[in-house]
Amino acid sequence: MRPMAGTDETIISVRGLRTQFGSHVVHNNLNLDVRKGEIIGVVGGSGTGKSVLLRAIIGLMTPQAGEILVFGEDLTKMDPPERSAYEKRWGVLFQDGALFSSLTVAQNIQVPPREHLKLSQVLMDELAALKIRLVGLEQNSAGKLPSELSGGMRKRAGLARALSLDPEILFLDEPTAGLDPIGAAAFDNLVKQLQQNLGLTVFLVTHDLDTLHAVCDRIAVLAEQRVMVVGTMEDMLAFDHPWIKEYFHGPRARAAKLSA
Amino acid sequence: MASTAYFDVVADGASNRLQFFGSWTIANLGDVDPVVRQYVPSPGVPVVLDCEHIDRMDTAGAWILYRLMRRLSDNRAVSFERVDHDQQALIDVVGSHEEHVEEIPAHKAPLLASVERFGANIERAFLDTKNSIGFFGMLIQVLFRMVRRPKRFRLTSFVHHIEISGFDALPIIMLITFMIGAVVAFMSADILSELGVEIYTVELVTITFLREFGVLLTAIMIAGRSGSAFTAQIGSMKAHEEIDAMRALGLDPMELLIIPRTLALLVSLPLLTFIANVMGFVGGALVCWMTLDISPGMFMARASEATELRHLWVGFIKAPFFAVLIAVIGCYQGLRVEGTAETIGAHTTASVVQAIFATIVVDAAFAVFFLIVGL
């Protein structure tokens, strides 16, 4: 049932996407396919609309044109209850975790099951504790408020909440931004491990070359308002485009390559 | 799509075989989990967990099976059978973390928690009062320092805050004092005309406004309008580390932020009080004219003849006190914002509540004082 990285089945399909804010066009005629079971990394310079693409896919903003199919369905054409059934099948980690500030970590993790499912409190407590360990947090962080956690811990807690309904797709928005290199590497490993163990498809927006080297099966580069190229790290290194060359051959890229 | 999760027990004498069916995913586990919890086979009989018929499984399902296995293996042999590769991987993942899965600490009893909160609130109220007074002392200190070096006074900021907290507040203050003036006149006209002394309505309006209503209504309005704004502005600067940045750049937040705001209120609140008094008179005079046939000219003549000037001073003397109270509480609460932005709301509420409370307490103290000294 759970496929290995990169099957041929397409789980997210974006066709002819156009998004704009006022007169500022972010994407124009953007196409992207995400295969089931892969980790795809989306990169691009600042302002190329990486996060906007993620928000468009999960339905937080409505594109001006184009079609977005997730699980083979166009979610924008559904009414809210029908949508909600699909939304439960993905988890999203926002940049700073976006934990609910008035709830403890355990309560944050229990929000999706409490709202969507009928589970006993005991089972929810057990599952929250399991998810907390799964993302590598200390058990005693369960009762802490988000303001009592460090940035890295907040991200892990956010990841635990994103995983709380055992989603099929995991959206990560700059998961390693703001973490120290050791924490970032640990987070990369965690994502890879979870992806393998739970059979997730991971859609990952990042700036972090180490992450790209360490975990991504494929990389999609956003430039000139569209997806310039999709492929493996080798494809990126061979591709001839000034920005991509600079990005993947710059001094930081070389360091990342050495350590990968 | 989702089939429910359930299991059958097949007992063949030598062992109990549990056959699991359906989707063991989190969405389907609400009903089956209590049944699994309650399942107790006779002790000693080996149990086989047969996973052949499980369609789908996620970490939650794997957790329930793993937990069952752990519980039963206390006093019998338990084994998994016909677990496919992916299911085994999930059970292993869940199992590798099991040793750490403990009960989340129980919540405190609600009654105890509310008593505790009550106590904490009282303690905080005392601390807030004490610290606000300390903050006021600091403010005075910085003011004296500034008197010696007047160049450090931020004139632009000062004028800006007079505009924001004074001039921009004019319409709302004029409107409410006009209406309250009219209401006071209506109420007293009604009662006094029964006694045949409706002319006293004029005194009632003028004296209550000059002594109490003008300054008190203005102060309450300013506490809600400017006190809260001070807290929110300074609080969000604090949350974004702007205050720290100022200190790191060798700037004094007291000089830059707090002094201009406090002095601005010190100027605008008395001015607004004057306008408030005038508008209260206008409202009262209008009602007198409409219901009692006392013309505005008569109203003014009666007011200047019967209302002594001391009432005006009694009201006005309070305005600067209220201004300092509101500014100090507003700025202090803003500086108390810590860490993230979510505490700004709580501090803004506290700022308005404390400012209005302090204003009324001080007003009552003044009333007693004036009574004793006979003003």
Query: Which residues in chain A have Cβ-Cβ distances shorter than 8 Å to B339?
Result: 147
Number of Cβ within a 10 Å radius of residue A13: 17
CA–CA distance, B92 with B69 (Å, rounded to integer): 12
CA–CA distance, B95 with A125 (Å, rounded to integer): 16
Residue type at position B224? G
CB contact under 8 A, A120 and B63: no
Residues of chain A with pLDDT under 50: 1-5
Sign of CA pseudo-dihedral A68, A73, A79, A84: negative
- pLDDT tens-digit readout, B211-260: 999 999 999 999 999 999 999 999 999 988 888 888 888 888 898 899 99
Query: Which is more confident, A85 or B164?
Result: B164
pLDDT of amino acid A84: 81
Point out the residue among B30, B67, B101 whose CB comes nearest to the CB of A118.
Answer: B30
Query: Which residues in chain B have Cβ-Cβ distances shorter than 8 Å to A129?
Result: 100-104
Nearest CA in chain A to B54: A1
**Angstroms from A118 CA to nearest CA on chain B:** 5
Q: Which of B54, B59, B340 to mutate to test the interface with A (most CBs of A within 10 A)?
A: B59
CB contact under 8 A, B27 and A123: no
What is the band of B153 on the pLDDT scale with cuts at 50, 70, 90? Answer: confident
Instruction: State both tokens at A104.
Output: 């403890």
Residue with the two structure tokens 């397409």: A10
Which residue, A102, A164, A97, is CA-closest to A129? A164
pLDDT of amino acid A260: 60
Q: What share of chain A is helix, strand, coil (3-state, %, to 5)?
A: 45, 25, 30
CB contact under 8 A, B58 and A197: no
- pLDDT tens-digit readout, B48-91: 888 888 888 888 888 888 888 888 888 888 888 888 888 888 88
- pLDDT tens-digit readout, B294-345: 999 999 999 988 888 899 999 999 999 999 999 999 999 999 998 777 789 9
**Exposure string for B107-143, b = 16+ CB within 10 A, e = fewer:** eeeeeeeeeeeeeeeeeeeeebeeebeebbeebeebb
CB contact under 8 A, A126 and B93: no
Q: Supply angle C-alpha B91, B94, B99, rounded to 5.
A: 125
Instruction: State both tokens at B26.
Output: 């989190």
pLDDT of amino acid B99: 57
Q: Supply angle C-alpha B335, B338, B341, rounded to 5.
A: 100
CB proximity A198 to B under 8 Å: yes
CB pairs under 8 A between A and B: 82
Class of residue B278 by CB neighbours under 10 A (exposed 0-12, middle 13-18, buried 19+):
middle
pLDDT of amino acid B103: 53
Question: Does position B44 have pLDDT exceeding 80, yes or no?
Answer: no
Average pLDDT, chain B: 89
pLDDT of amino acid A3: 39
pLDDT of amino acid A137: 84
Residue with the two structure tokens 């807690």: A157
CB proximity A102 to B under 8 Å: yes
Nearest CA in chain A to B95: A130
pLDDT of amino acid B96: 75
CB proximity B305 to A under 8 Å: no
CB contact under 8 A, A133 and B25: no
pLDDT of amino acid A6: 52
**Angstroms from A251 CA to nearest CA on chain B:** 32
- Above 0.85 for ipTM, yes or no? no
Q: What contacts B285, CB < 8 A, 6 or more positions away?
A: B185, B205, B294, B296, B299, B300
Instruction: State both tokens at B101.
Output: 């899965």
pTM for the model stands at: 0.70
